[in-house]
């Protein structure tokens, strides 16, 4: 059930997540290299915030995959999946925001990031379907996955 750290990196979803992380890191480096004066201009402050958040969100996705692959708790696995989806969506929203505040910027690398996130999304759809119910399911007390679990129980 549990994967060795090296085995997790071999998963297709992890390879896609790492590609997203590498692109976000590269984009952050490029934008931050252009931001040498550290002015308090609103757009630059917003850009810095977006880049910091994008980077944090991108780094969280591989961590959530590793955690998901190494736990048998169904609720935790599904919660991690939701957090990964939210992180990927936040990155996409941030890309759109960056484009609006930096209209004269070459957007080719932002398009590469969109493509990488779409590839991640497609692999995510396949991966999340592989999350199996385990014999031990603890009700989390919030009722989030109960109907889903009941629908997937073998008869």
Highest mean pLDDT among 28-32, 123-127, 132-136, 138-142: 123-127
Q: List all residues 6 or more positions away from 79 whose beta carbon is below 8 Å from its beta carbon.
A: 144
Distance CA 112, CA 20 (A): 9
Q: List all residues 6 or more positions away from 1 whose beta carbon is below 8 Å from its beta carbon.
A: 72
Question: How high is the pLDDT of residue 135?
Answer: 44
Give residue-wise pLDDT tens across range 63-91: 999 999 888 888 888 899 999 999 999 99
> Of how many residues is the chain composed?
155
Distance CA 3, CA 81 (A): 17
Question: How high is the pLDDT of residue 114?
Answer: 96
Which spans in 2-107 are helix H? 5-8, 12-34, 42-69, 74-101
Q: What domains can you pick out in the chain, each with its CATH number?
A: 5-152 (1.20.1440.60)
Q: Which of 3-12, 23-32, 71-80, 97-106 has the lowest mean pLDDT?
A: 3-12
Give residue-wise pLDDT tens across range 120-130: 999 999 998 88
């Amino acid at each position: 059930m549990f994967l060795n750290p090296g085995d997790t990196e071999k998963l297709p979803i992890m390879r896609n997540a790492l590609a997203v992380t590498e692109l976000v890191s590269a984009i952050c480096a490029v934008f931050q290299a252009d931001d040498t004066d550290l002015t308090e201009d609103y757009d630059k402050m917003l850009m810095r915030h977006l880049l910091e958040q994008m980077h944090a969100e991108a780094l969280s996705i591989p961590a959530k995959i590793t955690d998901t692959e190494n736990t048998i708790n169904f609720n935790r696995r599904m919660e991690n999946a939701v957090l990964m989806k939210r992180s990927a969506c936040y990155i996409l929203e941030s890309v759109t925001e960056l484009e609006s505040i930096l209209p004269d910027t070459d957007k080719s690398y932002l398009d590469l990031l969109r493509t990488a996130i779409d590839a991640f999304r497609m692999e995510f759809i396949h991966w999340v379907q592989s999350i199996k119910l385990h014999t031990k399911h603890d009700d989390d007390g919030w009722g989030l996955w109960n109907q889903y679990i009941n629908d997937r129980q073998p008869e």
